[in-house]
Amino acid sequence: MSAENALPRVKIGIRDSGVGGLTVARRVREALPDADLLYFADTAHLPYGDKSPAEVTHYALSICDFLLERGAQILVFACNTTSAYALDAARQRFSVPIFGVIEPGARVAAQVSGGKIGVLATAATVASGIYNREIARFNPASEVCEIGCPAFVPLVEAHKADSPEAFEACRYYLAPLLRFGADTVILGCTHYPLLLPALQKAAPDVHFVDPAQAVAREVAAHATPLPRQSDAKATFYVSGEREGVENWIRALLCIENPQLERGPVFDFLHSRTSLLPFSPSS
């Protein structure tokens, strides 16, 4: 096919607070190897788990604008906290398909569990109650126990996912879920699949659900498949600390020389109302 007649390639924008969303990007890339990826790691505001809903929503909508300006046709919230607090606002504001990670994970867990489901997530995701509500939609008889895991994201971002410290953290957070009797545990943060070996070692009889594969299937169903013209492109934007991001990209996406660019830092304090889809009084 000549350059003049080449079809435009689908471009998918993926955003997260750090490197955890790369676990979703990996599955999307496997499902859509010919798609171009735009990935935004908002490391300037990491972690999202201790942010207010308004702050998380502001960052999410700002990054959506940024990715859409660069041609994204599909957006993926590769972050459970953002999916819990900002997905509805983003769908109101933007006309492109936008996918979160919570509904797919809840659906899979409800299908495979014997009735007791545990959720490991950030404090913000647990506080939102979103997994309880979503699981109840798919299986009202399921019992759910959610545990906030504030130590997990810092461990992953510090490249300590396979450390003794990480294993002890996994044992600590899994203990109440095992007492509860959970046979299935949702990894309710996209950083957490990087702790899966330690989690499986700490709870070998538990079925762990990583929502990334289900998300990738949904994205692929909405993307128009195009013939291969050249190698798909992937561009990575990092708003803050970049150290270690490049190594994670190499490890998870097998991209030897990733294209990293400095992304903007969105200031919540000075412009927190500018991107809200509606005013509090509406």
The two structure tokens encoding residue 60 = 């999410």
Q: Between vectors from CA 192 to CA 79 and to CA 269, what angle results, nearest 5°?
A: 40
Paired tokens of 28: 């999307």
Instruction: Exactly one of 64, 170, 189, 254 is catalytic; name it.
Output: 189
Closest among 42, 15, 73, 9 to 219, alpha carbons compared: 73
Please name which of 21, 15, 11 lies closest in space to residue 249, comparing C-alpha atoms.
21
Q: Is 73 helix (H, G, I), strand (E, B) or coil?
A: coil
254 is catalytic: no
**Alpha helices (runs of H) in the chain, residue ranges in sequence order:** 22-31, 53-69, 80-93, 102-112, 123-128, 130-138, 152-157, 164-180, 196-202, 212-222, 245-253, 268-271
Identified catalytic residue from 79, 145, 149, 170:
79
What CA–CA distances, in Å, run from 190 to 20, 160, 229? Answer: 5, 16, 31
Cα–Cα dist 148/17, whole Å:
17
Q: Residues with catalytic annotation?
A: 79, 189
